[in-house]
Structure 1
Amino acid sequence: GAMSKLKKKFLDNIRIYVKAGSGGNGHPKFGGIGGSGGNVVLKVDEKATLKRVLSKFPGARLEAGHGGHSHQHRLLGEPGQDATAFVPPGVSVVNDHGHIVGELNSEKDSFVLANGGPGGNSHNGYTGETGEKKHYRLDLKLIADVGLVGFPNAGKSTIMKALSRCNVKIASYPFTTIAPRVGKIIFDDHRQISLADLPGLIEGAHANFGMGHKFLKHIERTRLILLCVDIMGFKLKPEDPNRSALENVYLLNRELEMFNGQLLSKPCILVVNKIDMLENEAVLKDFILSMENYKTSTNIEEFMKPKEYLHFDEIIPISAKFKPKTVNYLKERIRHWCDVHEEKLIDDKCFEKIQTNLKEYQLPLV
């Protein structure tokens, strides 16, 4: 159902409703002051995810506690409890008009989403004031539209160069320690699509051998995955068995799954590089045929198989070095699939907004 679909989906933005606490009433006779309402606050935690915010606050409602009233035995009312949500570094806070009102990039950043109402005192007739109520969207900031993923020999940097001509630079971001190489495809009509080369995965990257883990984290910050394999297969060390192109697809899929299964819900294109090396066309034909029963294949060793499979929008054979026509075709298809998924995203966001608004007015979604 819709819920289990959501469980598996990687969330790079969420809509939340925040409601700060109201102030408690004062005590006019003794000049007692009501406690102020709690605030709704965002803080940063390296390990946090947007999904966890939703599981901690059901219905995506973050509500702070109300301030206590003033009593003759306790003239100063108890302050209301803050509601605090933790987000990963690299999150933008967007208000209902689509404006970015806050940025959380490092563990020392915090942001008040809604202020609690002041307690009752001589200035407001001793009546506690209501806390602020607002809607926000929290966005995980993107590094690039498209992330290139593959083992070290897949020719990712060559693909990157071929796609973005000379527009490649090392980019640094305030919210991450690693600087990926980011390039831009610039189309004739000036449309731009950015690409991030996420350095070569090694089997076992998910287990955090070295940098692998940090790079996998970057895939969360791209909209579309370009999974790159070498048609000739790959071996890490001379003494290792050669893994065929097909086995590489399974191993990369498994690597992503073991890092974060929700990544498998991201749109993905499979790029088969170095087809200029083929002496026999049949190898490519076989590969494409095998990919047709990717999810049900019986001639792949069990340890390579993931539990959940990536869904490839398209399989595109190229030679990044020697066949510019294939590279141009890839560019057009990247643009096509970015557009398809962008439209879906906009539809989903509209649906979500309608849903939240209906929830607020307690109307059923028909």
Structure 2
Amino acid sequence: MVYLSRICLRKYGNFVDNLRLYVRGGSGGMGLPRLGGQGGKGGDVWVVATNNMTLQRIKDKYPQKRFVAGVGANSSIRALKGEGGKNVEVLAPVGITVTTDDGRKIGDLNAEGDRVLVASGGSGGSFYSGFEPGKSQAKHIRLDLKLIADLGLVGFPNAGKSSLLTALSNATPEIASYAFTTLKPQIGKLIYPDYKQISVADLPGLIEGAHMNKGMGHKFLKHVERTKQLLFVVDVCGFQLASKTPFRSAFEAVQLLTKELELYKEELMSKPALLVVNKMDLPDAEDKLAELKEQLQNPDKFCNLLPDDMIPKNYMTFRHVVPVSALTGFGVSDLKSYIRQSLDEDAVTENKTFHREKLQALRQQLGGVCEKQGQRIPRASVRP
């Protein structure tokens, strides 16, 4: 197991999903005591989200990983107010969380053009500071990439996630009949007849103890946070990671995956989820599927198969349980329909919530105006 982990870490290193940078704001300019002049403010350092950018490109383009803003100009007889220092922008990919070295979050970059201030420049010297410039900020920051996708495939190694992604979409991940084939996240696009596109992230397989960062648990689990819904994928016949690890049935795999997500971050349990039961082309698959469905309906009755510390506090509720064979294509079209239906349902709910909140804000705004004018507008007269 240690040998496998070392192999995975070396290969995974080619995919840069976090980067540590040194950033420093520019120094402020000196004030001019004789004429009461004010020095220019030092420049700021910003991290700005842009498409078509990767952390690997930042690493290659700026090998020293240092970003220092411009210095503010001193006050002078010709210019009593010194010119401000030049700002520096670090262009980063969309889907970045910016944190300090100690893990404190500075901000998120979720869309093109989002900006986060990471180091402020020093203030210019003035009468109030004895004409001495203020200190600029300097720190190390971390850019942490978390994928943004509609769906995240979650499963143990060799559950068939990569084969499923290929069957569903236009992605071409590496596929083989051994564990740990997927060593970095893959994104595929589901394209429907009406040109609707849904993004699906194939996340590398988890292992038991992933929440404690076993294997590369945290590198993988963090990507689950930035997906709208989860797509659990299990082998209908169960799996065994290695000869020295216990065999796990499909039901046990579902509960272990649930427990890993729960222990890593309990909020993940609130995400809508579908369950894909893969490899239905194998012998006795129908009988095993029927057994799994019965176990899912009465999980308390069958969870004695697991150690107490591996039983989730709350069982995952799946919107749909879909049997498929990524190899033969059986059930894949049904799965695409269920995925679309699930995401569309959430989109309608989000839209209604948005309009309801907007309407409430409008009513409060109009109510405040009417109170000032001593009038009262009937509730029915306010429309969305």
CA pair 182-217 structure 1, distance change in 2 beyond 3 A = same
Q: 1:351 to 1:87 in 2, by over 3 A?
A: farther
When residues 221 and 281 of structure 1 are mapped into structure 2, their CA distance, relative to the original with a 3 A threshold, is same
Aligned to 1:23: none
Partner of 1:209: 214
Aligned partner letter, 1:91: L
- Partners of 2:290 and 2:254 lie apart in 1 by 16
Shift of 1:362: 8.4
**1:298–1:180 distance in 2 versus 1, CA, 3 Å:** closer
Change beyond 3 A, Cα 1:142–1:281? closer
Match of 1:154 among 154, 159, 163: 159
- 1:274 and 2:311 correspond: no
Instruction: Give the partner amino acid of 2:318.
Output: F
Work out which of the residue numbers 320, 324, 338 in structure 1 matches 2:326.
320
| Bigger relative contact order (CA 8 A; separation at least 6) | 1
Can you list the C-alpha shifts for 1:149-198, whole angstroms capped at 9, x where unaligned? 0000201100111111x33479xxxxxxx952101111122211111011
Give the fraction of aligned pairs with identical amino acids, expressed as a percent.
43
Report the Cα distance in structure 2 between the residues aligned to 1:329 and 1:88, rounded to whole angstroms.
42
SS of equivalent to 2:265: helix
- Indicate the larger mover: 349-358 or 181-190: 349-358
SS at match of 1:154: coil
Q: Deviations over 1:215-255 (max 9, x none)?
A: 11111111110001001111111122211100000000000
Q: 1:304 to 1:335 in 2, by over 3 A?
A: same
Matched position secondary structure for 1:272: strand
Residue of structure 1 equivalent to 2:150: 145
Aligned-residue offset at 1:279: 2.6
C-alpha contact (below 8 Å) 1:247/1:304 kept by paired residues: no
- C-alpha separation in 1, matches of 2:146 and 2:157: 26
**CA displacement at 1:43 relative to structure 2:** 8.9
| Partner in structure 2 of residue 235 of structure 1 | 240
Identify if the C-alpha distance between structure 1 residues 249 and 189 changes in structure 2 by more than 3 Å, giving closer, same or farther: same
C-alpha spacing 1:295/1:347, structure 2 compared with 1 (3 Å): farther
Shift of 1:143: 1.9
**Offset of 1:361 from its aligned partner?**
7.7
Q: How many angstroms does 1:147 deviate by?
A: 0.4
Cα distance 1:325–1:235, how it changes in 2: closer, same or farther (>3 A)? closer
Q: SS at 1:199's partner residue?
A: coil
Aligned residues between the structures? 255
Q: Structure 1: which 5+ residue stretches go unaligned?
A: 1-31, 33-41, 45-85, 94-99, 113-139, 171-177
> CA distance change for structure 1 residues 258 and 358 in 2, over 3 Å: closer, same or farther?
farther
**Residue 167 (str. 1) matches residue 139 (str. 2):** no
**Measured at CA, do residues 259 and 355 of structure 1 come closer, stay the same or move farther in structure 2, by a change above 3 Å?**
farther
* Structure 2: distance between partners of 1:91 and 1:356: 26
Of residues 182, 187, 196, the one that matches 1:191 is 196
Partner of 2:337: 332
**8 Å contact kept, 1:230–1:245:** yes
Which stretch shifts more, 342-351 or 243-252?
A: 342-351
Aligned to 1:254: 259
Q: 1:92 to 1:294 in 2, by over 3 A?
A: same
Q: How does 1:97-176 map to 2 (within 5 A)?
A: 102-104=114-116, 109-110=117-118, 143-164=148-169, 166-168=170-172
Compared CA separation, residues 332 and 88, structure 1 to 2 (3 A): farther
SS at match of 2:321: strand
Specify the SS of the correspondent of 1:228. Answer: strand
Residues 94-134 of structure 1 show CA distances to partners (whole Å, capped at 9, x for unaligned) of xxxxxx65244xxxx4499xxxxxxxxxxxxxxxxxxxxxx
Superposition deviation, residue 90 in structure 1: 4.2
After TM superposition, give the deviation of residue 297 of structure 1 in Å: 4.5
Is the alpha carbon distance of 1:280 and 1:101 closer, same or farther for their aligned partners in structure 2, counting shifts above 3 Å? closer
**One of 325, 344, 363 as aligned partner of 2:349:** 344
Instruction: For 2:302 and 2:290, locate their aligned partners in 1 and report how far apart those are by CA, in whole Å.
Output: 16
**1:289 is matched with which residue?**
294
Partner residue in 1 for 2:315: 309
The alpha-carbon deviation at position 356 of structure 1 amounts to 5.5
Deviations 1:42-77 (Å, cap 9, x if unpaired)? 999xxxxxxxxxxxxxxxxxxxxxxxxxxxxxxxxx
Check conservation: 1:91, 1:141, Cα contact below 8 A: no
Gaps of 5+ in 2: 1-35, 37-45, 49-103, 121-144, 175-182, 369-378, 380-384
Give the Cα–Cα distance (whole angstroms) in 1 for the partners of residues 266 and 354 of structure 2.
23
Alignment RMSD (CA, Å)? 4.3
Q: In 2, are the aligned partners of 1:261 and 1:308 still within 8 Å (CA)?
A: no
TM-score after normalising by structure 2: 0.56
